[in-house]
Amino acid sequence: MPLDTRELMRQVARLRIITSRLVDTRLTGAYHSAFKGQGIEFDEVRAYNYGDDVRSIDWNVTARMGHPYIKRFAEERELTILFAVDVSGSQTFGSTQRSKAETAAEATCLLALSAVKNQDNVGLMLFSDRIRTYIPPRKGRKAVLRIVREVLASEETREGTNIKAALDFLAHVQKRRAVVFLLSDFLDTRYDDALRIAARRHDLICCPIRDPHEASLPPAGILELEDPETGAQYLVDTADPHFRDTFHRQAREQHEALLRTFRRNRIDAVPLSTDTSIIDAVRRLFLQRQARRKRG
C-alpha cells in the first residue's frame, strides 16, 4: 500500500535528518574528492613564482604588467547525478530492519544530500518493467526532498524488472556524461550489453541490494513462499539441509557472477543490505575512488 501523505512526510523528514547528520559528520570532503568534474575552467591569473611551469605564462598580461604572470585552472566541479531506482515487486521484500525499497530510499537520500552540498544537479528515474517516473536533474534541497518523496511514495506493484529498458531510456534522456547510481536487486537477465554501453557513456555505479534471507534460509520447516513479481507460490521444506545448502550456494553464485559482470565492465559496485549500515558502504566507495584518483 502506498503511504498516506502525513506518514510519507514523516518518513521524508526522518530520512533527511538522519542522512544530513551522516553527510556532515562522515562524508564531508570525501564526496568532493571521489568524483571528477566535467573538465577544467579558468580560475585566476597570478604572478609567476620560481618553479612554475613556463607553459602557463599568460603573455598578454605579462606584457601589460611588465613581469611574468601565469594562468591557473581549476577542475570544473558541477556534476549531474542521476539515480536510477528499481521499484519492482521484489523491492518490497525485507526480513530485518527495512525493506529493499527503504534501503534504496535511504541510500538515495544520503547520496543526493552529498551531491547538493557540492552544488551538483540531482535527478531521478524510477523503473520496474517500464519507466515509472522521471525527474530531470535540478539543484537544491527541494530537488533532493522531491526525489526521496517519489522513491518512498512509489506504489507496491507486482511488476517485474527491466534494467535494459531503464538504461535505454537513460541513453535517450541524458546525453551528457553523468554520474549514475543504479540501485536494484538485479533480479533480471539480458541487460549486460546495455550495462556495458551505459558504463562507457557515464560514470556508472551499481548498488545491488540484498536481504539476508535471499542468501540463506533458516530451518523453519515447511514454508509457503510467493514471488512478489509474478504471484507464483511455492511450498519449500526449509528443514531439509540439502535444500538450504543448495539455496545458499545458488544465491552466492548469482551474487558473485553479478560482481564479476561489474568488474568486467569496470563498474564500481556498492553492495547494500537491508540489515547493515548504508553509510559504511558509501564511505568505502568514496575512499576507494579518492585513492584511485590520487594514484593516477
Count CA atoms closer than 13 A to 41's CA, side-chain side: 6
Cα separations in angstroms, 111 against 5, 15, 179, 218, 241: 24, 12, 11, 33, 40
- What lies within 8 Å, CB to CB, of 196 at 6+ separation is 265
Three-state secondary-structure class, residue 108: helix
Give whichever of 43-47, 178-182, 216-220, 230-234 has the largest mean pLDDT: 178-182
Q: pLDDT per residue over 56-65, tens digit each?
A: 788 888 888 8
Q: pLDDT per residue over 135-151, tens digit each?
A: 999 988 888 888 888 88
Rg (CA), the chain: 23
**Predicted TM-score of the model (pTM):** 0.80
In CATH terms, the fold of domain 5-33+79-295 is Rossmann fold (3.40.50)
Domain ranges of the chain: 5-33+79-295, 38-76
Q: Residue 125's closest CA among 117, 115, 136, 141?
A: 136
Distance from C-alpha of 107 to C-alpha of 205, rounded to nearest angstrom: 13
Q: pLDDT per residue over 167-193, tens digit each?
A: 999 999 999 899 999 999 999 999 999
Distance from C-alpha of 139 to C-alpha of 175, rounded to nearest angstrom: 18
Q: What residue type is 156 in one-letter code?
A: E
Q: Which long-range contacts (CB under 8 A, 24 or more apart) does 230-236 make?
A: 230/158, 230/160, 231/158
Q: Name beta bridge partners: 199.
A: none
pLDDT score recorded for residue 4: 56
Distance from C-alpha of 178 to C-alpha of 122, rounded to nearest angstrom: 10
Confidence of residue 44 (pLDDT cuts 50, 70, 90): low
Residue with grid cell 556508472, as numbered in its chain: 204
Q: Residue 152's closest CA among 179, 114, 112, 117?
A: 112
